[in-house]
Amino acid sequence: MVLLGVVLAATLGRAVVTITPKPVSFSSEVKVSVAPDAKTSETVPGTVVSTTVSGEKKATAAGTGTTVRGKATGKVLLVNKRASSQSLIATTRLITSDGVLFRLKKGVVIPANGELKDVEVVADKDGAESEIGPSTFTIPGLPADLQKLVYAFSEKPMTGGLETISTVAQEDIDKAVTELKDELTGKAGAELASLVAGRGFTGSAVMVNEDARSVSAKAGDSVGSFDVLLKLTVTGVYYNKEKLQNIGLNALKANVPTDMELGSNDVTSANVVVQNASATDKSATLGVVFNGTAILTPASQVLDKSRIIGLDETMIKAYLKSFDSVSDVSVSFSPFWVKKAPTMKDHIKMIVK
């Protein structure tokens, strides 16, 4: 009877192990050439254009500081409706209808029947009283009849009557530089895109080189504000995105971990970096990182039946769940008296959901 029981257990015993796989993330980094004449399967059709942009930005320190009185400043538009030019010396008075007085910083000549833009002025007195909004100014130093023909007005508020003096941190400078660089890069990008409009390029990436930088303050200075000036060369690489995605998909398939197959991929949103580019040759090299997931296949060594022979349910689950590629495991034995995996591999069924 004992021998019969052993024989029955060996011949009738069955085990069904159902595995729910867990996607495993992996990536493939590829260098891709971009050129107008794509002669190889690894070259993407495209072109390279470049432009230079510059700009400035006024920034303030983020920390708290001391408020001090200063002289408000701003810019005005000088108008001359006379048939002859009008000279105005430095410190020429400009006054609003309610008596707020400003002076020219520099001497100017307004052309006949013309105007001068962005002429700098400074308040005669310090304090918040001179922080006025857009205004019209007369020039009291001129004869009354000329004051109607030569005048000024401002389009933006005057600022600086009350100024907060704070200590500049390196983080403040870095933030201002980054913000200005982003603004200039966006401006350059729009210009570059217009140069290749209509040529059918569906992908783009830019490389930014900083040609010059000027910051009017350094970390530790106590100032109300500081100016940042940048000059950038922005190079744009425009290419056939679909061809790049095909290269990425092939790279992921070629680099799938052993005993696994490609699951999902994000070749449409790959991280593209311009490694080098030449606007002269219209060619570039892109470093592209493609990300995807891999999942178990029934042929995986992880699912080798010989590794679970003689193990009970708890041990089978513990073994399989020790792999990152396995999310969940369920085990069933038959007939009802069987509590361990059979010793015969063909009596064990491995199912991958």
| Per-residue confidence (pLDDT) for residue 139, from 0 to 100 | 98
pLDDT higher than 90, residue 40: no
Residue 209's pLDDT band, with cuts at 50, 70 and 90, is very high
pLDDT higher than 80, residue 9: no
Residues 18 and 93 both lie in one domain: no
CATH of the domain at 128: 2.40.30
Domain that holds residue 86: 71-160
Residues 146 and 81 both lie in one domain: yes
Residues 77 and 145 both lie in one domain: yes
Last residue of some domain: 138, 160, 182? 160
| Per-residue confidence (pLDDT) for residue 8, from 0 to 100 | 55
pTM for this predicted structure: 0.66
Whole-angstrom Cα distance, residue 277 to residue 207? 8
Residue 39 placed within a domain: no
Percentage of residues in the chain having pLDDT higher than 90: 83
Whole-angstrom Cα distance, residue 20 to residue 23? 10
User: Among 18-22, 57-61, 229-233, 285-289, whose mean pLDDT is lowest?
Assistant: 57-61
Last residue of some domain: 133, 160, 187? 160
Residue 275 placed within a domain: no
Higher pLDDT, 244 or 39: 244
| Per-residue confidence (pLDDT) for residue 22, from 0 to 100 | 94
Whole-angstrom Cα distance, residue 330 to residue 314? 10
Residues 80 and 155 both lie in one domain: yes
Last residue of some domain: 129, 160, 191? 160
Residue 331 placed within a domain: yes
Residue 87 placed within a domain: yes
Residue 80 placed within a domain: yes
Residue 225 placed within a domain: no
Residue 96 placed within a domain: yes
pLDDT higher than 70, residue 2: no
Of 286, 66, 283, the C-alpha closest to 164 is: 66
Of 250, 256, 300, 265, the C-alpha closest to 21 is: 300
Residue 46 placed within a domain: no
Cis before residue 335, ω within 30 degrees of 0?
yes
| Mean pLDDT for the chain overall | 93
Residues 89 and 18 both lie in one domain: no
| Per-residue confidence (pLDDT) for residue 59, from 0 to 100 | 93
Question: Each residue of 118-171: pLDDT tens digit?
Answer: 999 999 999 989 999 999 999 999 999 999 999 999 999 999 888 777 889 999
Q: Dihedral of CA 261/264/269/271: which sign? A: negative
Higher pLDDT, 60 or 90: 90
| Per-residue confidence (pLDDT) for residue 257, from 0 to 100 | 87
Q: Dihedral of CA 138/139/144/150: which sign? A: negative
| Per-residue confidence (pLDDT) for residue 3, from 0 to 100 | 59
Q: Per the structure, how many domains does the chain have?
A: 2
Whole-angstrom Cα distance, residue 126 to residue 61? 22
